[in-house]
């Protein structure tokens, strides 16, 4: 495999990478422009693919776990409901275009990777769900506002509008 030097960098691992057999890898490694990791100082056919791990998971601070690309269960809190909106965090893997919704802690971790795009949306959960017309003025409902917000976020994550199916979700 050949990549120009401008497409990767050589770093040192202190145990936050694992080999395909599950053992920790310490030493020089290569991080490519698309978020792949390989052993060694030079990228060649002898380079072994590595997996990056999160040394401090959200649940237990001393366990080594991989930064899994999976959805979190997201719901507005009572405080969010009183405020009328809450923030939703989305992450897209640039390599396969998969999109997930995560909590803020995992969002911040994914932001540090170079293989993801991220977006934050202010999701309206209060007010009328549908648009209404009052004396020739349109009062936009939560669905229309949320749809417009998602369209703006699609500048960062192009496929986000195809993922979100219910723009009235959580509206009370």
Q: Give per-residue pLDDT as tens, 105-124.
A: 888 888 888 899 999 999 99
Q: Give per-residue pLDDT as tens, 127-169.
A: 899 999 988 899 999 999 999 999 999 999 999 999 999 999 9
Global pTM reads 0.62
Paired tokens of 15 = 């145990």
- Yes or no: say if 91 and 109 are a contact pair by the CB < 8 Å rule: no
- Yes or no: say if 30 and 8 are a contact pair by the CB < 8 Å rule: yes
Nearest to 74 by CA among 100, 110, 99: 100
Q: Give per-residue pLDDT as tens, 76-106.
A: 988 889 989 999 999 999 989 999 999 888 8
Strands (E) located in 19-162:
24-32, 37-39, 49-54, 65-66, 85-93, 99-102, 116-124, 132-134, 137-139
């Amino acid at each position: 495999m050949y990549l120009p030097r401008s497409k990767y960098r050589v770093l040192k691992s202190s145990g936050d990478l694992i080999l395909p057999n599950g053992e920790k890898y310490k030493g020089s490694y290569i991080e490519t422009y698309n978020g792949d990791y390989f052993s060694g100082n030079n990228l060649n056919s002898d380079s072994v693919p590595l997996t990056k791990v999160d040394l401090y998971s959200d649940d237990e601070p001393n366990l080594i776990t991989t930064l899994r690309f999976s959805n979190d269960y997201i719901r507005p809190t009572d405080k969010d409901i009183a405020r009328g909106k809450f923030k939703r965090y989305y992450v897209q893997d640039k390599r396969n275009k998969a999109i997930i919704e995560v909590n803020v802690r995992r969002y911040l971790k994914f932001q540090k990777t170079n293989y993801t795009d991220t977006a934050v949306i202010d999701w309206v959960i209060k007010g009328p769900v549908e648009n209404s017309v009052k004396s020739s003025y349109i009062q936009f409902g939560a669905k229309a506002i949320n749809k417009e917000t998602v369209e703006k976020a699609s500048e960062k994550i192009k496929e986000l509008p195809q993922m979100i199916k219910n723009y009235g979700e959580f509206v009370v």
